[in-house]
Amino acid sequence: MGRRAWSTSLLFQSKSFCFSLLYLFTTLFLALYSTLSTKCIFRSSPFNPIQKSLFSYPPNYGEHKYAIPTLRSSCNSPVFFSDYSMVLDDIKEICMNSSSSTSTLSYLSKKADSFAGNFSTKERIFYFDHRDDQVEVPCGVMKEFPVSDSDRIAMESCKEVVVISAIFGDHDKIRQPRGLGSKTLELVCFIMFIDDLTLEGLQSHNLLLNEDQEYKLGVWRIVKVSGELPYENPAMNGVIPKHLPHRLFPNSKFSIWLDAKLQLMVDPLLLIHSLVISENVDMAISKHPYYVHTMEEAMATVRWKKWGNVDSLKKQMEVYCQNGLKPWTSQKLPYTTDVPDSALILRRHGSRSNLFSCLLFNELEAFNPRDQLAFAYVRDKMKPKVKLNMFEVEVFEQIVLEFRHNLKKHGRGTSPIEVPRTKWWKDVCGNGSSCNCSSYLLQMWRESHD
């Protein structure tokens, strides 16, 4: 009985087909390898119900103008998202079971101008060393933040998660978040604070033409801050919603501060769950892309003219050094840096995060709105310690898209300038022989050299 001859299928005799098949499998292998080797890929359920764009701007608005490219493709701290439906249920349960510290919030909300500007730095330090979570601590903004009654009611009705941003001086565009789940808007309020100048700019593009003064732009509720603002400096007015969300949204359990130059690319519920709840922390904030020590940020503030009053900035650093500010070392672990990138802040509203925000705001009110300068000083002195998740800058770049301001063409991505030690010493300590920051500088250089 003869053997049956094996005949190749006509389909596989085609050289073009075989080449296409080889190309397909090679491409799939490379794509899989690239995905697994990219550490910042955010793995979430493929069944997350993502909503399509809820709003489109007129072409002349230019909401994606001045985008800043990102070059990093991997990071040291990958973030993994849980299934959307599970996140939704977890946050609902947490918000249902948690209760705000109503006594403290009520106390802080009812105070008037009596505490504003009445505490020297040494007197404020006393409030850092308390051990009672319910202690009544003066909390900045003892002035009226002028919003309409309808807006205030809407702010108080945000009971789960609130995403907050602000544009003063018409320096940015309002950008709509992407990747929202189908149930997200049931739990998340999006609130954008603007001033009269920003309103005029939006109206010039035929946006916000509602006659009843209740404005909605896509997912954002637009809250106009009108009348006499608490501070002459627009940046300081922007610090109010940035660092005191528990004051403006007393019933919210979580909040996300988003600088107006950023566009959110991930559902805020996924971010809160992965970066705050799963890490069991009070706050999550990105590390600075370049600086580790507070003094490095102070010098950059001077070099890039981010704050005009250099003498007051020197005085601030002198006061901090005199009262115990140290450069970052491994002894400060689990805090991995002294300098955050505060463009994105995620908070669980509670006694520690509320206290930290209040104490930080007090420093900004006393000196200047550059919150990165006071960050480590407040964090290191505060008791009980605030629990922080300081995530990698590469994670930040996966979460948001960043844009330059309307009027400022420089932005993130500018490399730091190397400054000689002699210039450091002169800029910080001047020509005097005694300097409170001498030991700080010497220790910082030693740590950097090691």
Amino acid at 195: D
Give pLDDT tens digits for 5-57.
555 555 555 667 666 767 676 666 655 544 444 445 565 554 566 666 678 88
Spatial distance between the Cα atoms of 345 and 272, rounded to a whole number of angstroms: 10
Give pLDDT tens digits for 139-170.
765 567 889 999 999 999 999 999 999 998 88
Does residue 6 sit in helix, strand or coil? coil
Its pTM stands at 0.81
The pLDDT assigned to 369 comes to: 93
In the predicted structure, residue 135 carries a pLDDT above the cut 70: no
Please state, in angstroms and as integers, the Cα–Cα distance from residue 61 to each residue in 28, 56, 174, 198, 222, following that order: 40, 10, 10, 13, 17
Give pLDDT tens digits for 46-80.
456 666 667 888 877 877 776 677 666 556 667 88
Sequence-distant (≥ 6) Cβ neighbours of residue 30 within 8 angstroms = none
Spatial distance between the Cα atoms of 25 and 138, rounded to a whole number of angstroms: 64
Domain ranges of the chain: 59-292+328-408
Mean pLDDT of the chain: 79
Spatial distance between the Cα atoms of 240 and 141, rounded to a whole number of angstroms: 7
The pLDDT assigned to 51 comes to: 67
The pLDDT assigned to 370 comes to: 94
Report yes or no: 267 and 175 within 8 Å, Cβ to Cβ. no
Amino acid at 33: Y
Spatial distance between the Cα atoms of 220 and 193, rounded to a whole number of angstroms: 10
In the predicted structure, residue 259 carries a pLDDT above the cut 90: yes
Sequence-distant (≥ 6) Cβ neighbours of residue 321 within 8 angstroms = 436, 437, 439, 440
Question: Which residue, 285, 50, 360, is CA-closest to 177?
Answer: 50
**Proportion of the chain above pLDDT 70, given as a percent:** 70
Counting DSSP H helices and E strands in the chain, the numbers are: 17, 10
Sequence-distant (≥ 6) Cβ neighbours of residue 264 within 8 angstroms = 163, 177, 178, 179, 256, 258, 399, 400
Amino acid at 343: A
